[in-house]
């Protein structure tokens, strides 16, 4: 999704429960299923384990969430959310040739961080015809405090960064449809973001109000077995965007954002995940709309430019139906010019973590990641996939 400031804030300050579904994490189980047990509404009768959707029918019901988190760019924070998963036969169960679609979900959320950043959001995701038609819409508002470190191929401001604040209000409208019985989806998105940016300089604050508005042509391929914690399959997307005055914005530029995810079951309990991203933004894009390297352990906005690549690998070992452990390592670069990309400053991170399948009917896992980046070691409380 286009890196407008509000979308940046959503992805890095609001770790919502991913609004996606899955029945399990792909763990093989050669033993007989345990007998159903009665008891607490938070104990799954299938295996007697803690589960937030144990008492729900077909994944339907309210899902409250209070989540402390740590992002290097904003500091320690707390996110709270309330989602209602409408539930249907389409959200439970799948076949090898038909992965389960995301559920119809309505949510409200908010977050506050150590450096005074805050964010609020209301949204709805709806699926029709067994997931072949999908809609997502949201309104968002907030105030985000970050640092501008210059660009990936420039030394300007790289040491300590320049503090800035973005106040924003945004609207997102998106729809996509499945092409026949294939794994391909196509559709469109409209984004409108009203921003007020203030830089804190030694000469005093410098501010400016802008509007960024654009449309995106969405193209996706998805053969993953689940959308939350996949154990096999491929996800790929190419999003082509145009932002311009004709659409209500102050800037005229184009962008292309590509994503590739591959999940390979190496053995009965091993899964290897691979991620690759390559983004391009036009020269007239505002600085806050430029792509930046997104890796655990790397602060938001630390490495940004008009051209960007990121690669990351994540092997995961499935201990049982609920628990898994993982390791990860990745790298990326950003530059203002394509021919300088391979010479730009090198961003990297590596680390390890674990997951617990906290909502089996939704395929929602939660856990902790410890990541080491170029500058610091950071702990994350993670809900859903980080990709």
Determine which helix (DSSP H) or strand (DSSP E) holds 11, and give its type and residue range. Answer: helix 5-13
H or E element in which residue 8 lies: helix 5-13
Token reading at 21: 């579904």
The per-residue pLDDT for 51 is 85
> By C-alpha distance, which of 119, 106, 110, 52 is closest to 81?
110
Domain that holds residue 226: 5-383
Q: What's the confidence (pLDDT) of residue 370?
A: 96
Q: What pLDDT shows up at residue 230?
A: 82
Other residues' Cβ atoms within 10 Å of the Cβ of residue 215:
16
The answer to whether 294 and 310 have CB atoms below 8 angstroms apart is yes
- Indicate the burial class of 333 (C-beta count within 10 angstroms; 0-12, 13-18, 19 or more): buried
User: What Å distances lie between residue 118 and 138, 170, 200, 296, CA to CA?
Assistant: 17, 14, 18, 21
Number of Cβ within a 10 Å radius of residue 267:
10
Helix ranges (DSSP H) in 40-111 = none
> Left if phi > 0, otherwise alpha if psi is -120 to 50, otherwise beta: which for 335?
beta
* Count: domains in the chain: 1
Residue 88, Cβ density class (10 Å: 0-12 exposed, 13-18 middle, ≥19 buried):
middle
Q: What integer pLDDT is reported at residue 170 of this predicted model?
A: 97
CATH classification of the domain holding 38? 2.40.160.50
Whole-number pLDDT of residue 158: 52
pLDDT 10s per residue in the chain (387 long)?
Answer: 343 333 444 443 333 333 333 333 333 344 444 444 445 678 888 888 888 766 665 556 777 878 888 888 999 999 999 988 886 544 444 444 455 677 789 999 999 999 999 999 999 999 998 889 999 999 999 999 999 988 876 654 456 789 999 999 999 999 999 999 999 999 999 999 999 999 987 766 678 899 999 999 999 999 988 777 788 899 999 999 999 999 999 999 999 999 999 999 988 899 999 999 999 999 999 999 999 999 999 998 899 999 999 999 999 999 998 999 999 999 999 999 999 999 999 999 999 999 998 878 777 788 999 999 998 999 998 887 888
Tell the residue number behind the tokens 């985000």, with chain if given.
144
CA angle 61, 226, 138 (to 5 degrees): 55
Residue 134 main-chain phi, psi, to 5 deg: -135, 140
Residue 347: per-residue pLDDT: 95
Q: What is the pLDDT of residue 133?
A: 95
Q: What is the pTM of this model?
A: 0.81
What is the predicted pLDDT for the residue at 57? Answer: 56
Name residue 273's beta-bridge partners. 263, 314
């Amino acid at each position: 999704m286009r890196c407008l400031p509000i979308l940046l804030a959503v992805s890095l300050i609001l770790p919502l429960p991913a609004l996606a579904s899955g029945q399990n994490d792909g763990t093989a189980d050669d033993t007989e299923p345990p007998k159903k047990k009665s008891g607490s509404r938070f104990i799954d009768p299938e295996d007697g384990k803690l589960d937030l959707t144990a008492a729900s029918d077909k994944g339907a019901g309210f899902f409250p969430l209070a989540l402390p988190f740590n992002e290097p760019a904003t500091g320690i924070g707390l996110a709270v959310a309330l989602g209602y998963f409408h539930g249907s036969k389409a959200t439970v169960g799948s076949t090898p040739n038909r992965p389960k679609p995301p559920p119809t979900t309505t949510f409200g959320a908010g977050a506050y961080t150590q450096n005074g950043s805050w964010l609020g959001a209301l949204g709805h995701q709806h699926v029709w015809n067994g997931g072949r038609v999908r809609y997502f819409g949201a309104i968002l508002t907030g105030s985000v405090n970050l640092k501008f470190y210059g660009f990936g191929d420039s030394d300007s401001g790289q040491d300590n960064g320049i503090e800035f604040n973005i106040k924003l209000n945004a609207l997102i409208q998106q729809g996509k449809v499945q092409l026949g019985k294939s794994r391909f989806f196509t559709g469109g998105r409209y984004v409108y973001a009203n921003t007020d940016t203030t830089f804190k300089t030694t000469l005093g604050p410098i501010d400016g109000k802008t509007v960024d508005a654009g449309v995106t042509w969405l193209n996706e391929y998805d053969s993953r077995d689940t959308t939350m914690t996949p154990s096999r399959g491929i996800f790929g997307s190419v999003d082509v965007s145009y932002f311009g005055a004709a659409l209500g914005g102050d800037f005229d530029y184009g962008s292309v954002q590509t994503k590739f995810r591959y999940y390979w079951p190496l053995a009965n309990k091993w899964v290897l995940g691979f991620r690759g991203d390559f983004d391009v933004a036009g020269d007239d894009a505002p600085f806050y709309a430029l792509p930046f390297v997104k890796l655990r352990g790397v602060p938001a906005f630390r490495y940004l430019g008009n051209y960007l690549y990121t690669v990351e690998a994540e092997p995961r070992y499935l201990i049982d139906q609920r628990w898994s452990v993982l390791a990860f390592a990745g790298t990326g670069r950003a530059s203002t010019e394509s021919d300088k990309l391979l010479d730009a400053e090198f961003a990297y991170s590596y680390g390890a973590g674990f997951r617990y399948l906290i909502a089996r009917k939704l395929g929602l896992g939660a856990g902790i990641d410890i990541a080491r980046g170029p500058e610091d070691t950071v702990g994350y409380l993670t809900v859903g996939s980080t990709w």
